[in-house]
């Protein structure tokens, strides 16, 4: 299916198709009245096995209900040549020819209209949708939630809070692969388990300022509600995929994409939509924006260029959302290996002889680099072009530090994947890579021991994205930390328990760390 949409929808759009579709939404999907809910409960069972669950779908051409998981609806579609069916839980429409959930502007409009009618018939708008101004009618006012007197009274009499137990599954939900969309699913899992981002969206903090139904932040808000609703069935992120295709055209289509590229594109669109598209464009420099994306993900990278003649230093600070790190085995010379070969431990990482660690990669990233005679820079002190050295350090650390291990090498002569194993720690101290540490060392004031009680530079690992396979053909999965030391592997729709060893032994492509002192779970 092309980004333009499904070509098989036109065969359905004949005679009274709009009215028929409205009836299906009214009676079998949204069910706004008690009577329609009773009818749905009685009639919506698989006509082949009698089950109520297993992702029940209804044929759009005839009155037939079938299980999607057991492929009973597939058998019906093949036998009757009825190509379209509707998901009775989410209202998404599936094409059996395209083998994918589809988007059609006319059908989407009918779905939204019938959904609003159902809300009104129920007497209120569900709480999870009050934060989506762009999902409501034009001109409908955003209203925040406040507890009623009865709710306040219950809270006073029941001060004890529910604790997350070790077997709790809240926040865990698989994502259906919509056709080579594992690159998107693994990033969604990492974002939905980012502690401060989760707290922001689950506390109704987003107030949409966009004039259309194309706000990616609103879709992320709904996605968080879906993840933490307690439902265990896999979620179908077709609306998210459509919005990504709309706002990041280079990612449109069913070819396999790069998860790192998707992460940066998603953060960029979220950053722009947080303040409304026009306002976001005015804040192209993330340092000048106070949206939730930049509050969490933006750091400041300091670049010091030192003249080799007069030793004058020119300093610039640039914002960053992630740090891309070179690996041994690439065409770029790698230096240095850590002192791990002599049995020492850095950042809690285990060092085997000849092994590479995340700390090694960060040391290489922040080491002084001689630019050479072919890259002379005009010195402000000498007023002439001179050789110089360049060194990168961290001026400002983000709340979430994302490290991109550059496993895909593209050059004129070479295209390949680098599979070098890089060990990474559960806890990371970024103090040695700070600009302030460099200045202290230059002034002879730096001390290796740091007061652990007053250190804002310590991070905890909470998500890892991995890539299996080759450059041409591969698959993305992710490990996410649900709470404390509870880790799970997310492989599209399948969520399985994972050990810390599973996480630390994985190859690692994207590593997500959260500031320790801001984590409260």
Helix (H) or strand (E) holding 458: strand 458-469
122 token code pair = 């129920």
CA within 13 Å, CB half, 447: 4
Rounded to 5 degrees, what angle do the CA atoms 126, 132, 134 make? 130
Cα–Cα distance between 395 and 436 in angstroms, integer? 7
* DSSP SS3 for 299: strand
> Of 67, 95, 182, 490, which residue is the catalytic one?
182
Cα–Cα distance between 509 and 505 in angstroms, integer? 12
User: How far from the centroid of its chain's Cα atoms is residue 132's Cα?
Assistant: 19
Question: Do the strands 356-357 and 422-423 form a parallel or antiparallel pair, or are they unpaired?
Answer: parallel
CA distances from 147 to 127, 144, 151, 152, 229 (A): 12, 10, 6, 6, 19
The conformation of residue 264, written as its DSSP 8-state character, comes to: H
Task: Extract the runs of DSSP E, i.e. beta strands, from 7-52.
Answer: none
Closest CA to 370 of 307, 296, 428, 318: 307
Whether 475 is catalytic: yes
User: How far from the centroid of its chain's Cα atoms is residue 416's Cα?
Assistant: 26
> Of 8, 82, 475, 483, which residue is the catalytic one?
475
* DSSP SS3 for 426: coil
Region of 520 (left: φ > 0; alpha: ψ -120 to 50; beta: rest) is: beta
Residue 415 makes CB contacts below 8 A (sequence gap 6+) with 409, 471
Whether 186 is catalytic: no
Say how many C-beta atoms besides its own lie within 10 A of residue 44's C-beta.
16
What per-residue string of b and e applies to 321-352 under the rule 16 or more CB within 10 Å gives b? bbbebbbbebeeeeeebbebeeeeebbebebe
- Strands of the 299-307 sheet, one edge to the other: 313-320, 299-307, 388-396, 369-370
Which long-range contacts does 118-124 make (Cβ < 8 Å, 24+ apart)? 118/26, 118/30, 118/31, 118/32, 119/32, 120/32, 121/32, 121/33, 122/32
What per-residue string of b and e applies to 468-501 under the rule 16 or more CB within 10 Å gives b? eeeeeeebbbbbbbbbeebbbbbbbeebeebeee
Which active-site residues does the annotation give?
Answer: 182, 475
């Amino acid at each position: 299916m092309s980004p333009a949409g499904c070509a098989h929808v036109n065969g359905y759009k004949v005679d009274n198709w709009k009215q028929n579709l409205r009836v299906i939404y009214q009676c079998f999907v949204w069910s706004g009245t008690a009577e329609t809910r009773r009818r749905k409960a009685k009639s919506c069972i698989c006509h082949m096995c009698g089950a109520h669950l297993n992702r029940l779908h209804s044929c759009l051409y005839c009155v037939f209900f079938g299980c999607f998981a057991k492929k009973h609806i597939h058998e019906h579609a093949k036998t009757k040549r009825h190509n379209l069916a509707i998901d009775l839980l989410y209202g998404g429409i599936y094409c059996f020819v395209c083998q994918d959930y589809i988007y059609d502007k006319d059908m989407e409009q009918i779905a939204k209209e019938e959904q609003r009618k159902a809300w009104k018939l129920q007497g209120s708008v569900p709480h999870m949708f009050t934060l989506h101004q762009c999902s409501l009618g034009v001109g409908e006012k955003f209203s925040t939630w406040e507890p009623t007197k009865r709710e306040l009274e219950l809270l006073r009499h029941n001060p004890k809070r529910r604790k997350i137990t070790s077997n709790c599954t809240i926040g865990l939900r698989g994502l259906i692969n919509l056709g080579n969309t594992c690159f998107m699913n693994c990033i969604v899992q990492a974002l939905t388990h980012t502690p401060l981002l989760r707290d922001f969206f689950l506390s109704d903090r987003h107030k949409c300022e966009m004039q259309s139904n194309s706000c990616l932040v609103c879709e992320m808000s709904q996605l968080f509600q879906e993840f933490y609703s307690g439902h265990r069935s896999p979620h179908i992120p077709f609306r998210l995929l459509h919005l990504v295709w709309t706002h990041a055209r280079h990612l449109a289509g069913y070819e396999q994409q790069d998860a790192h590229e998707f992460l940066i594109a998603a953060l960029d669109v979220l950053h722009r939509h947080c303040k409304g598209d026009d306002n976001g464009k005015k804040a192209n420099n993330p340092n000048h924006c106070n949206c939730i994306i930049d509050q969490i993900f933006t750091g400041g990278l300091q670049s010091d260029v030192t003249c080799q003649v007069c030793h004058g230093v020119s300093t610039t600070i640039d914002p960053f959302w992630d740090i891309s790190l070179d690996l041994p085995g690439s065409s770029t010379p790698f230096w240095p290996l850590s002192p791990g070969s002599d049995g020492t431990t850095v950042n809690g990482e285990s060092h085997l002889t000849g092994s590479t660690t995340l700390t090694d990669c960060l040391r290489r990233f922040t080491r002084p680099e001689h630019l050479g005679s072919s890259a002379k820079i005009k010195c402000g002190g000498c007023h002439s072009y001179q050789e110089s050295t360049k060194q990168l350090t961290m001026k400002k650390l983000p709340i979430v530090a994302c490290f991109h291990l550059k496993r895909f090498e593209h050059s004129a002569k070479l295209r390949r994947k680098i599979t070098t194993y890089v060990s990474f720690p559960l806890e990371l101290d970024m103090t040695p890579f700070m600009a302030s540490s460099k200045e202290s060392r230059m002034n002879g004031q730096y001390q290796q021991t740091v007061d652990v009680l007053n250190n804002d530079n310590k991070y905890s690992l909470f998500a890892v994205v991995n890539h299996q396979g080759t450059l041409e053909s591969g698959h993305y999965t992710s490990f996410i930390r649900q709470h404390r030391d509870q880790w799970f592997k997310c492989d599209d729709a399948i969520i399985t328990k994972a050990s810390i060893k599973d996480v630390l032994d994985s190859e690692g492509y994207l590593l997500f760390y959260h500031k320790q002192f801001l984590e409260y779970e």
